[in-house]
Each structure stands twice: as structure tokens, then as C-alpha cells.
Amino acid sequence: MLYGHATFHTSPYSLSGLNEATQHEELAVDLFLQSIVNSLIQGGFFALWAVGMVLVFGIMGVVNFAHGELVMVGAYAIWVLKAQMGMGYIPAVFIAVILVMLIGIFMERFLFRPKREDPLGGLINSIGILFILQVVALLVGGTGPAKQVTPAFPGTLILDEFMRIPHQRLFSLGVSIAALLILWFFLTRTKLGWSMRAVALDREAAALQGININRTSLIAMAISAGLAGLAGALMAPISNIYPHMGHNVIITAFIVTIVGGLGSLSGAVLAAFLYAILHTFVTAYFSGTIASMVGLLLMVVVLIVKPTGIMGQRVSE
């Protein structure tokens, strides 16, 4: 079975095993503070995952089920380049992002563009790519246990005896926020960004204004894939790397996307951090399974009560 062992119990992102040595004597306050810090870091990842999906859905109208696999490819690229070939972390991240971008460009050009008028076809094509990328990961990494990459930035920021943040995680958070800010700047301050937002609002009207839909879609997919690759590359040193790791990514991205309002980038970012807080706290105080159930049910409630999400605008038929 495809996702046979990908249960939520062992979510590699729950980050609660951070300081195992001291965990048993942790005080409630420390658990609380640590959870806040963890949710911020996790929120950065959630936002990177979801923003790429929103971008592709908004501009191309495609639900990319293989988005989680793009994250997985980014993580595998780091494993191959850093752990296997001994390359430095920063150049490896750049190569990983470019590699995943190229995959994204290929997908847009040959799979999504011919199916622009057939959303179901695009969705099925993305499932096809999902299968292929998982098997490619198996071919590259073999079937053994999950891969791990040693952190590029060892050392830990010690705020007090019970609250420690490894530098690697701080780096991830910083890069995630920087990437989101650059994207925001690009979309709101450049001409290309405006044209992309115009396509998202009304494809035909944008085309009539002389905006090249093909080029815009290609750039949107490249950015989306690049963000996914970046997320994977940032996750590589702090989580398990295995072919089915995209499962968790896609479910989280769906929840965040729906809660934030399909097509709303700012809504997705806000929802990412809110959901990260919810997920981390429920995981810390109850269990990972309950946290996932709460997330899924939250999504259903939002779908029923306010399908446009917390930041979505009302869309006319």
C-alpha cells in the first residue's frame, strides 16, 4: 500500500523529542514556552508548503497532489549532496531548489498546460508524478530505514535550562520567513508579480490585457516548486527523510490552504502559523493522532461554515 506506514504518530515534525534528556522533569511553563517556539518553527514550514500550493491553484487552477513529493525530492537532494557526496550545506540547498524548480517547470509544460481546461486531468497527472517521484526516491535511497542528515549548524541556543533551540532550526525559521517576504515583495512590487495576481483573479481578462498566460503559469509553478524544494532542503537536517514523507506535507498543506481560504496567500501564511500552534499544543498535551484529527475536523468545519476561509474573498460564480 502506498502510504502503509505513514501514520501521524511518528510525525517527524512534531519536534517534541527536542530535549529528551530533560523532558521528564520539564515544568508546565517550559513545555508551554517550548511549544510556542516549536510552533513558530513548524509554522514556517507549513507556510512554505501551503504558499506553493495556493500559488499553483490560484494561477493555474490545478490541485497539485505531488506537492508533498516535491518537498521530499528537496530533502533527498540534500541527503545525496551533503551526506553522500560531502558537499557544503548552503550550495546543496541552492542545487536542491534549482532541481525541484526544474521538475516543476517540466510538470507545468508537459502535464498541466495540456490539461488547462480539464482540472480533473491535471489532478490525475499530478498523482502520476507522485508515484514516479516516490519510486525515484526509492531507487536513489534504497528501501532501508529513513535517511538522516547531520545538522550543518551544530550548537544550540540556550535560553534557559529547559528551553533550547538548535541553531539549525533557527536557521530554518529565518530562511522560511525571508523566502516568504521575498515572495510578498515580488507579488506586490514587481510588474511580473502584478501580472501573476491578475491571472489569478481572472485568467481571460488578464489574457486580453496582453499577459502571457503560459509564461505566468510556468513562473508560478517554478516558484511553487522552488519553495517546496527549499522547504525540503531546510527540513532535511532536522527530520527523517523517506519516500512517503510527502503524505504529511500534502495533508497539512490542504488543511492550511482551506483554513486560510483557497487562493489567498496571506490567509495561507496566517493559517499556517495558527495551525502550527494548534497542532504543536495538541501534540504536546494530548497526542499526535488527536492533533491530526482536530486539524482535519477544523478543515471540515471551515469548509462548511466559511468555504472562503479566514482571509478568502467571496468568489462570484
Partner 1 sequence: MNKFNLTQFVVMLTLFIGLILLPHYLRYQHQDFMIFLIINVLVVVSYRLMTLTGEWSLIHIVMMGVGAYTSALMSKHMGVSVWLTIPLAGLSAAVLAGLLSTPLFRMTQFYFLIGSFAVGEAIRLAWIFFIKPFGGSSGISSVPSPELLGIDFMDPIPYYYLVLIVVSLCLWVLYRIEKSRIGLTLNAVHWKAPLAQSVGVNTWKYRTLAFMVASLFVGIAGALKIHYLGNVTPHQFGVGSMVFVLIWVIVGGYNTFYGPIIGAVVLSVLDESLRNLNEYRPAIYGVLLIISIMFMPKGLEHISQGLKDWIKTAKSSS
Which lies closer to partner 1 via its Cβ, residue 20 or residue 117? Answer: 117
DSSP 3-state of 241: strand
Q: How far apart are CA 145 and CA 242, in angstroms?
A: 8
Residue 141 binds partner 1, judged by CB under 8 A = no
Q: How far apart are CA 110 and CA 191, in angstroms?
A: 26
10 Å Cβ neighbour count for 291?
22
DSSP 3-state of 67: helix
Residue 315 binds partner 1, judged by CB under 8 A = no
Q: How far apart are CA 165 and CA 158, in angstroms?
A: 7
CB of 90 to partner 1, least distance (A): 32
CA angle 133, 264, 179 (to 5 degrees): 60
CB of 46 to partner 1, least distance (A): 16
Which lies closer to partner 1 via its Cβ, residue 34 or residue 257? Answer: 257
Yes or no: say if 119 and 62 are a contact pair by the CB < 8 Å rule: yes
CB of 189 to partner 1, least distance (A): 31
Residue 129 binds partner 1, judged by CB under 8 A = yes
The footprint of partner 1 on residues 228-247 (CB under 8 A) is 247
CB of 180 to partner 1, least distance (A): 24
H/E stretch holding 156:
strand 156-160
Stretch that binds partner 1, among 25-33, 78-86, 121-129, 181-189 (CB under 8 A): 121-129
Residue 114 binds partner 1, judged by CB under 8 A = yes
Q: How far apart are CA 130 and CA 304, in angstroms?
A: 29
Residue 84 binds partner 1, judged by CB under 8 A = no
The footprint of partner 1 on residues 251-290 (CB under 8 A) is 251, 254-255, 258, 287, 289-290
Q: How far apart are CA 317 and CA 311, in angstroms?
A: 18
Instruction: Name residue 241's beta-bridge partners.
Output: 147
Residue 63 binds partner 1, judged by CB under 8 A = yes
Residue 311 binds partner 1, judged by CB under 8 A = no
Cell of 64: 497539485
Which lies closer to partner 1 via its Cβ, residue 61 or residue 151? Answer: 61
Which lies closer to partner 1 via its Cβ, residue 12 or residue 121? Answer: 121
Would you list the DSSP string of 159-177?
Answer: EETTEEEEHHHHHHHHHHH
Positions in the binding site for partner 1 (CB under 8 A): 1-5, 7-9, 63, 111, 114-115, 118-121, 124-125, 127-132, 134-136, 138-139, 143, 247, 251, 254-255, 258, 287, 289-290, 292-293, 296-297, 299-300, 303-304, 307
